[in-house]
């Protein structure tokens, strides 16, 4: 069983003006809804505004994240989804595509993308790890806090 690691408190600058986008896949909704609540808890605990857009599945997450970042309105994006192992390698194919897409967005926009696309062997295993939503939001905030200023 995966164990959660303690995360240090971030020093968010006052008057940061950050808005974070969250893209949540609704497939495996019981898991992704709980992940969304975790992500929102993280952002709200740091006083960061956010918007949520839902998509059917994990494969669609990157496209909408791209569109959100292209608006210039979002400082970063949290991606949330849940892939459960099946009889084929479909989950692996989707997982790799989404991971590569999320990484490309970080380079394209110089903005943090929190990778909250979870892979699990069973739905029960995924339900025990919904805290990954919090960690994905935390990763975005950490990226914003620690990113060097451009110049």
Q: What pLDDT is stored for residue 2 in this prediction?
A: 62
Q: What pLDDT is stored for residue 58 in this prediction?
A: 95
Reply yes or no on whether the pLDDT at 147 is more than 90: no
Asked if 123 and 91 touch (Cβ cutoff 8 Å), the reply is no
Q: Which of 112, 124, 142 is nearest to 2 (CA)?
A: 124
Q: What pLDDT is stored for residue 6 in this prediction?
A: 83
Q: Would you please indicate which residues are annotated as catalytic (active-site) residues?
A: 90
Angle 23-24-25 from CA coordinates, rounded to 5°: 125
Average pLDDT, the chain: 93
**pTM (2 decimals)?**
0.92
Reply yes or no on whether the pLDDT at 3 is more than 80: no
Q: What pLDDT is stored for residue 150 in this prediction?
A: 46
Reply yes or no on whether the pLDDT at 1 is more than 80: no
Q: What pLDDT is stored for residue 132 in this prediction?
A: 96
Angle 117-103-51 from CA coordinates, rounded to 5°: 60
Mean pLDDT of 103-130: 95
Q: Which of 133, 112, 129 is nearest to 121 (CA)?
A: 129
Mean pLDDT of 91-117: 96
- Residue scoring higher pLDDT (81 or 10): 81
Query: Percent of the chain beyond pLDDT 70?
Result: 96
- Which domains does the chain show, CATH number per domain? 19-144 (3.40.50.960)
Reply yes or no on whether the pLDDT at 104 is more than 80: yes
Reply yes or no on whether the pLDDT at 151 is more than 80: no
Mean pLDDT of 53-81: 97
């Amino acid at each position: 069983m995966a164990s959660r690691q303690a995360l240090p408190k971030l020093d968010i600058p006052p008057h940061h003006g950050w808005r974070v986008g969250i893209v949540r896949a609704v497939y495996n909704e019981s898991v992704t809804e709980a992940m969304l609540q975790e992500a929102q808890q993280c952002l709200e605990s740091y006083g960061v505004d956010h918007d949520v857009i839902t998509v059917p599945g994990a494969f669609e997450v990157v496209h909408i994240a791209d569109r959100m970042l292209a608006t210039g309105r979002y400082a970063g994006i949290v991606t949330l989804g849940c892939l459960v192992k099946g009889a084929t390698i479909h989950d692996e194919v989707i997982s790799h595509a989404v991971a590569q897409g999320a990484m490309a967005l970080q380079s394209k926009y110089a903005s943090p993308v929190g990778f909250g696309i979870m892979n699990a062997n069973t739905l029960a295993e995924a339900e025990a790890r919904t805290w990954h939503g919090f960690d994905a939001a935390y990763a975005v905030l950490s990226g914003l806090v620690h990113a060097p200023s451009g110049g």
